[in-house]
Amino acid sequence: MRHLKAHRKLGRTTEHRMSMLRNMATSLINADKEHIVTTIQKAKELRPYVEKAITLARKAENLTGDDVPIKKVHLRRQAAKYFHAGNRNFKKDQSRFRGAKGESKEPIERTAGVKAVQRLFDELGVRYKDRNGGYTRIIRLGRRSGDNAEMAVIELVDNPYELAAKS
């Protein structure tokens, strides 16, 4: 019996499943058109995962009081667990272990996880400030020709592309 066993396993180990959800959440937040195409089961698992991260960004926008900066940092750190780690990309000519003499003065690009957290708090938290949930939408596309899997688009609601199409 599957009593009290929430969520789908998707035929993966826990580590693989969590990594896949983090990867998909990072892709959804960083996507130019704010949507990704995936299977319906993966989309249904991704929806609450992404909505919890967006809720953290929304809470950061609605904070009041004296210790707001401290609470915002805490919420950002909590949201960072929903995306892949923001490790730095080292340039090929730099060694792995750099001392004080080997420090580079050039800025190093941020990875997708850090960009996702920044976009989540800078843009999406403001967009959904007054919305009480339901930040994503799943649209079914039909079946994939190769393996007959049900496909779907998961997208963020009220995105600029959707609003431009309405007007």
In the prediction, which pLDDT does 107 show?
57
The Cα 29–Cα 11 span in angstroms is 25
Inside any domain, residue 73: yes
Which of 106 and 163 is assigned the larger pLDDT?
Answer: 163
Q: Is the pLDDT of residue 12 over 80?
A: yes
Structural domain that includes position 88: 14-92+107-166
- In this structure, which amino acid lies at residue 101? K
Q: What is the pLDDT of residues 46-89, one digit of tens each?
A: 999 999 999 999 999 998 888 999 999 999 999 999 998 755 55
Inside any domain, residue 52: yes
| Beta-sheet strand order (sheet of 35-39) | 35-39, 150-156, 136-143
Number of domain units in the chain: 1
CATH number at residue 44: 3.90.1030.10
Q: Nearest CA to 42 among 77, 69, 7?
A: 7
Mean pLDDT of 3-23: 92
